[in-house]
Homo-oligomer: A and B are copies of this chain.
Amino acid sequence: MNEAKPYNYRYMAYVHGYHQREQARLQDQASTLVELLHADTVYPEGSRVLEAGCGVGAQTVTLAGRSPGATIISVDISERSIVEASEKIRKAGYSNVWFRQADIFQLPFDPESFDHIFVCFVLEHLASPVEALRSLGTFLKPGGTITVIEGDHGSACFYPESEAAQKVIHCQVELQKRAGGNANIGRELYPLLRASGFGHTKVTPRMVYVDAGIPELVEGFIKNTFTAMIEGVRQPALDAGLSDAVTFDEGVRALYRTMEKDGVFCYTFFKAVAVKG
């Protein structure tokens, strides 16, 4: 129960923190993006799937629901997150998920014991993503697949354009970098997976495109997902001297400005499916 500390030299301090608003944000994000990110992830009857880094179970519910015949083993380093994820799965009425607290780098499983592996929004927090992927690969049966999903803050593109908004996004990117992570990791999935020894690798970008004609995404993505995340690092950014309060708040206002009726916001997630060669 020591979630506030870095767990391991290979992990960054989880930059988003663990408080309630953050958990609400993760839920909003999950429900808005489910179709875009997960519609094509369905595991066959009888397959054994490892979800590495399940967090509070935002994706686990989707995995379990879309692949009712698969057995999903979800692990996370945080015991507290595991408890919450279990509760979520119990409430959703799924019985095909097993949870276990474990370190991705020291998984308590047999080699080549999984048909598929699923990793979502995890690599961005690791100082050594290639090492993590290599390690995960050892638990995959030959011919099995690993699915990796990551965002990329450098892909954020909006109207009206705003240097203030870019600066405040950069605060988040820089904080994540200083903590050993990489907020722009989405674009790197292909080289990372290839460098980790995986064979055929297919990456598909998934852009969230939002304009005033899609009000549910204006609220659900621009406000509750992206801008909420940026606002969440206000104090750490000020503490780190990356911005002053006036500049930071100006950037946040510029992000909110994109929610108006002539505004547009784009953000790209990258999804990779790679085969163990």
Contacts and interface: CB of A to CB of B under 8 A. Distances in A.
Interface string A250-277: 0000000000011110101000000000
B155 A157 contact: yes
Nearest to A208: B205
A207 to B, nearest CB: 5
State which size class the interface on A falls in: 20 to 34
Interface of A: 152, 154-155, 157-159, 161, 184, 187-188, 190-191, 194-195, 200-205, 207, 209, 211-213, 261-264, 266, 268
15 contacts: A154-B157, A154-B161, A155-B157, A155-B266, A157-B187, A158-B187, A159-B188, A161-B184, A188-B264, A190-B213, A191-B264, A203-B211, A204-B209, A205-B207, A207-B268
Most chain-B CB neighbours within 10 Å: which of A184, A194, A264?
A: A264
Contacts of A158: 187
Contact of A266 (B201, B205, B213): B205
Contacts of A200: 213
A198 to B, nearest CB: 11
Contacts of A201: 213
Nearest to A270: B209
B266 A195 contact: no
